[in-house]
Amino acid sequence: MATYFFRAVDEESHVLMGKLRARNESDLEKILNMRRLTLIEAERTGLFNLDGLLEPRYSQKDLLDITYFLYLIVSSGIPIMGGLEDLKKQGRKKLSYVAEHLHDAIESGMSLSEGMTTLSRIFPDYYIQMIRAGEVSGNLDGSLDHLMDYIESQINLRKTIKSYLIYPSIIIALMVTLVLLLFTFVFPKLVTILINLRAELPLPTRIIIFSANFMNKYFFYIIGMIIAAIITIRIISRKILPIKRVIDHLILSVPIIGDIMRKTNLSRYLKTVGMLYDSGANPETIFTLSPGVVKNVYLSEALKGITELILAGDNITQAMIKAGVFPPLITDIISMGEKTGNLDKSLKRACEIFDKEVPETIKKLFTLLEPLLIVLLGVFVLILLLSIFLPIYRIVGSIRVR
């Protein structure tokens, strides 16, 4: 995706300027249209534009903090300009940066949501649309409250995944450290001793010695090639959509891991649908923006098809069934919500099911992974020991007492 500087006009003929990321100008125009803006002109930034490097880096935790302070300002009845002015004086660089930009935007005649469009690196599209829906419906504090719940749920999910990754990470780090120590210090000396003794080397020892010599000779080349390969794959997968689609489809086909990715993305999608629905956004806006929070391209495109089906006349349940990505239980829950007029509760219930299943699936994955890592570590250590002690055993065995 590229970054564009744009000029646009809103429904009241106010000219707005900002910066957005989009695949192309056509995509940029669609994004602005969803925000009820008409594009006047757009200029793509250069390939090596360093403007983004001057801005602070924002995490989900930072976005949660910003949302919390905005919620305090709005819910307490403080004039938003005064609240942002106070926020600028907090002394926290990231908060001050956002508060200053939003304050200047509102002072120039923009609404809060319009001001956020100038900080698209910080505020995602669904976030901006949620704020706009809150402004239109007069329930801005409710929108901010929903956003806090949503962002916090995403942070907690990441924490859960990271907690399960600790043990495998330690095992892998130990294996890598052991390899580096042995290949750097132990095997070079062992090779010298064995060559001097003219001992016959068994196959495991020859393999390890060859690997050690190869790594010592080409270590920096190997590291450079690995880094270059990773960067190349990331660039290709991001820039070339068909390749990204194939990769994402393959990821979804991987046992357990694919299940986790699917449930995580679908939960994020339904949460966004629920938030926008509660804020009073129209169906076209809800189902056009919601796929934007799904990072898997294959799933995102399937979910975008739901929007087209709904606009063509299908109800939400029929569109979700035709998309072919939701389990029958979820579509049954959504169907019941549509029939009874409690779609918001049905969406929340569907999200709860996914949120409960994702940690359980992650736990299942790492429950299987931990013993597998231990076995691999044991096999690896056994091969190393055999490569060291087999030649020594042969040398000792060849010595005859006279």
Per-residue model confidence (pLDDT) at position 53: 46
| Separation CA 102–CA 116 (nearest Å) | 7
Q: What is the pLDDT of residue 2?
A: 63
Distance CA 37, CA 204 (A): 68
The structure tokens listed for 125 are: 């599209």
Q: Which pLDDT tens digit goes with each residue over 225-238?
A: 989 888 887 777 66
Q: Which residue in 332, 338, 299 sits closest to 316, CA to CA? A: 338
Neighbours of 29 (CB within 10 A): 17
- Residue 5 has a pLDDT of 78
The pTM of this model reads 0.63
- Weakly modelled stretches of the chain, pLDDT under 50: 1, 47-53, 401-402
Q: What token pair was written down for 281?
A: 């956004």
Helix (H, G, I), strand (E, B) or coil at 38: strand
Question: What is the structure's pLDDT at 399?
Answer: 61
- Element of type H or E holding 21: strand 15-22
pLDDT, residue 24, reads 67
Cβ(298)–Cβ(130) under 8 Å?
no
Q: Where are the domains of the chain?
A: 1-54
pLDDT of residue 237: 65
Q: What is the DSSP string of 237-290?
A: HHH-HHHHHHHHHHHHHSTTHHHHHHHHHHHHHHHHHHHHHHTT--HHHHHHHG
Tokens of 209: 């010695």
DSSP helix/strand/coil, 394: helix
Q: What angle do CA 360, 356, 70 make, to 5 degrees?
A: 125
pLDDT for the residue 50: 46
Q: What is the pLDDT of residue 46?
A: 54
Helix or strand holding residue 18 (H, E): strand 15-22
80 and 112 in contact (C-beta within 8 Å)? yes
- Residue 261 near residue 240, CB atoms below 8 Å: no
Non-local (6+) Cβ contacts of 94 within 8 A are: 56, 58, 62, 65, 66
From first CA to last CA, the distance across the chain in angstroms is 79
Sorted by sequence, the CB contacts under 8 Å of residue 101 that are 6+ apart come out as 115, 118, 119
pLDDT of residue 398: 65
Residue 271 carries which side chain, given as an amino acid letter? K
- Residue 199 pLDDT: 65
Q: Which of 1, 151, 138, 30 is nearest to 74 (CA)?
A: 138
Q: What is the pLDDT of residue 15?
A: 77
Residue 400: the pLDDT is 55
Whole-number pLDDT of residue 17: 78
Residue 134, both tokens: 């809150």
Rounded alpha-carbon distances, angstroms, from residue 310 to 31, 285, 287, 315: 19, 12, 9, 6
- In 3D space, the residue among 222, 182, 209, 164 whose CA is nearest the CA of residue 373 turns out to be 164
Helix (H, G, I), strand (E, B) or coil at 13: coil
Q: Is-contact 183 215, C-beta < 8 A? A: yes
CA–CA distance from 185 to each of 178, 181, 212, 222, 312 (Å)?
A: 11, 6, 10, 19, 69
CA 262/CA 325 separation, integer angstroms:
8
Hey, what are 72's tokens? 């305090």
Q: Distances in Å between the alpha carbon of 367 and those of 8, 93, 164? A: 53, 42, 9
For the chain, the 3-state helix, strand and coil shares in percent, each to the nearest 5, are 75, 5, 20
Pairing mode, if any, of strands 2-9 and 38-44?
A: antiparallel
List, edge to edge, every strand of the sheet that includes 15-22: 15-22, 2-9, 38-44
The pLDDT of residue 371 is 83
